[in-house]
Amino acid sequence: METTSKRKRTLRKMSFDEMKDKYIGEKGTTERDSYELELKVEVLGEMIKKVRKDRHLTQEELGKLVGVNKSQISKLERNTKNVTIATILKIFNALKANIKFSVERLDDKFEKGMA
Protein backbone atom coordinates (compact mmCIF):
# COMPACT_ATOMS: atom_id res chain seq x y z
CA MET A 1 0.00 0.00 0.00
CA GLU A 2 1.38 3.35 -1.06
CA THR A 3 1.42 6.14 1.49
CA THR A 4 0.46 9.71 0.76
CA SER A 5 4.00 10.91 1.41
CA LYS A 6 5.35 8.61 -1.30
CA ARG A 7 2.80 9.71 -3.89
CA LYS A 8 3.73 12.79 -5.76
CA ARG A 9 0.88 15.02 -6.73
CA THR A 10 1.40 17.51 -9.41
CA LEU A 11 -0.46 20.71 -8.73
CA ARG A 12 -0.72 23.13 -11.58
CA LYS A 13 -1.21 26.79 -10.93
CA MET A 14 -4.18 28.23 -12.74
CA SER A 15 -4.68 31.91 -13.55
CA PHE A 16 -7.92 33.65 -12.69
CA ASP A 17 -8.78 33.87 -16.40
CA GLU A 18 -8.18 30.13 -16.79
CA MET A 19 -10.47 29.46 -13.83
CA LYS A 20 -13.19 31.63 -15.33
CA ASP A 21 -12.78 29.82 -18.67
CA LYS A 22 -13.08 26.44 -16.97
CA TYR A 23 -15.89 27.12 -14.49
CA ILE A 24 -17.93 29.93 -16.08
CA GLY A 25 -17.20 29.60 -19.78
CA GLU A 26 -14.78 30.95 -22.31
CA LYS A 27 -14.87 34.57 -23.48
CA GLY A 28 -17.63 35.10 -25.99
CA THR A 29 -19.99 32.53 -24.50
CA THR A 30 -23.35 33.67 -23.16
CA GLU A 31 -22.48 32.53 -19.63
CA ARG A 32 -19.18 34.41 -19.58
CA ASP A 33 -20.65 37.59 -21.08
CA SER A 34 -23.40 37.54 -18.47
CA TYR A 35 -20.85 37.02 -15.67
CA GLU A 36 -18.65 39.88 -16.90
CA LEU A 37 -21.63 42.26 -17.16
CA GLU A 38 -22.87 41.38 -13.67
CA LEU A 39 -19.39 41.91 -12.28
CA LYS A 40 -19.13 45.36 -13.88
CA VAL A 41 -22.56 46.38 -12.58
CA GLU A 42 -21.59 45.17 -9.11
CA VAL A 43 -18.42 47.25 -9.15
CA LEU A 44 -20.34 50.31 -10.34
CA GLY A 45 -22.83 49.95 -7.47
CA GLU A 46 -20.01 49.64 -4.97
CA MET A 47 -18.32 52.73 -6.40
CA ILE A 48 -21.51 54.78 -6.11
CA LYS A 49 -21.97 53.68 -2.52
CA LYS A 50 -18.35 54.47 -1.61
CA VAL A 51 -18.39 57.94 -3.15
CA ARG A 52 -21.80 58.69 -1.59
CA LYS A 53 -20.46 57.76 1.85
CA ASP A 54 -17.24 59.70 1.24
CA ARG A 55 -19.46 62.75 0.58
CA HIS A 56 -21.39 62.04 3.82
CA LEU A 57 -24.69 61.69 1.97
CA THR A 58 -27.56 59.36 2.77
CA GLN A 59 -29.30 57.48 0.00
CA GLU A 60 -32.27 59.80 0.46
CA GLU A 61 -30.10 62.93 0.13
CA LEU A 62 -28.44 61.59 -3.01
CA GLY A 63 -31.83 60.65 -4.42
CA LYS A 64 -33.08 64.21 -3.92
CA LEU A 65 -30.00 65.62 -5.65
CA VAL A 66 -30.53 63.31 -8.60
CA GLY A 67 -34.32 63.51 -8.67
CA VAL A 68 -35.03 59.85 -7.89
CA ASN A 69 -36.40 57.98 -4.89
CA LYS A 70 -34.16 56.62 -2.14
CA SER A 71 -35.22 53.12 -3.20
CA GLN A 72 -33.69 53.66 -6.66
CA ILE A 73 -30.34 54.61 -5.12
CA SER A 74 -30.56 51.57 -2.85
CA LYS A 75 -31.33 49.26 -5.78
CA LEU A 76 -28.46 50.68 -7.80
CA GLU A 77 -26.03 50.21 -4.94
CA ARG A 78 -27.26 46.63 -4.61
CA ASN A 79 -26.46 46.01 -8.26
CA THR A 80 -29.81 46.27 -9.95
CA LYS A 81 -29.27 45.99 -13.69
CA ASN A 82 -32.19 48.21 -14.70
CA VAL A 83 -30.47 51.57 -14.76
CA THR A 84 -29.92 54.05 -17.56
CA ILE A 85 -26.64 55.72 -18.43
CA ALA A 86 -28.40 59.06 -17.87
CA THR A 87 -29.18 58.10 -14.27
CA ILE A 88 -25.61 56.95 -13.66
CA LEU A 89 -24.29 60.23 -15.05
CA LYS A 90 -26.70 62.23 -12.85
CA ILE A 91 -25.59 60.31 -9.78
CA PHE A 92 -21.89 60.86 -10.34
CA ASN A 93 -22.54 64.50 -11.23
CA ALA A 94 -24.41 64.94 -7.93
CA LEU A 95 -21.50 63.26 -6.15
CA LYS A 96 -19.07 65.62 -7.91
CA ALA A 97 -17.24 62.64 -9.36
CA ASN A 98 -16.19 61.88 -12.92
CA ILE A 99 -17.10 58.68 -14.65
CA LYS A 100 -15.42 57.44 -17.78
CA PHE A 101 -16.83 54.90 -20.19
CA SER A 102 -14.55 53.03 -22.51
CA VAL A 103 -15.45 51.30 -25.71
CA GLU A 104 -13.40 48.30 -26.73
CA ARG A 105 -13.55 47.00 -30.25
CA LEU A 106 -14.28 43.31 -30.26
CA ASP A 107 -13.60 42.85 -33.96
CA ASP A 108 -10.15 43.84 -35.18
CA LYS A 109 -11.41 43.66 -38.77
CA PHE A 110 -13.27 46.95 -38.39
CA GLU A 111 -12.16 49.38 -41.06
CA LYS A 112 -12.66 53.11 -41.57
CA GLY A 113 -15.77 53.93 -43.50
CA MET A 114 -17.69 50.88 -42.30
CA ALA A 115 -20.90 51.61 -40.46
pLDDT at 6: 57
Q: Is residue 2 part of a domain?
A: no
pLDDT at 16: 72
Find the radius of gyration of the CA atoms of the chain.
22
Choose between 45 and 82: higher pLDDT: 45
Q: Is residue 10 part of a domain?
A: no
Q: pLDDT band for position 1 (50/70/90)?
A: low
Environment class of residue 71 by beta-carbon count within 10 Å: exposed (0-12), middle (13-18) or buried (19+)?
exposed
pLDDT digits (tens, 9 = 90+) for 21-51: 887 788 888 887 777 766 677 788 888 899 9
* Segment 56-72 mean pLDDT: 93
Q: Is residue 106 part of a domain?
A: no
Residue 106 has pLDDT above 80, yes or no: no
Give the CATH number for residue 52: 1.10.260.40
Q: What is the number of domains present in the chain?
A: 1
Could you tell me the residue range of the domain that residue 40 belongs to?
A: 16-94
pLDDT at 20: 77
Residue 59 has pLDDT above 90, yes or no: yes
Report how far Cα 64 is from the mean position of its chain's Cα atoms: 25
Environment class of residue 82 by beta-carbon count within 10 Å: exposed (0-12), middle (13-18) or buried (19+)?
exposed
Q: Is residue 7 part of a domain?
A: no
pLDDT at 4: 54
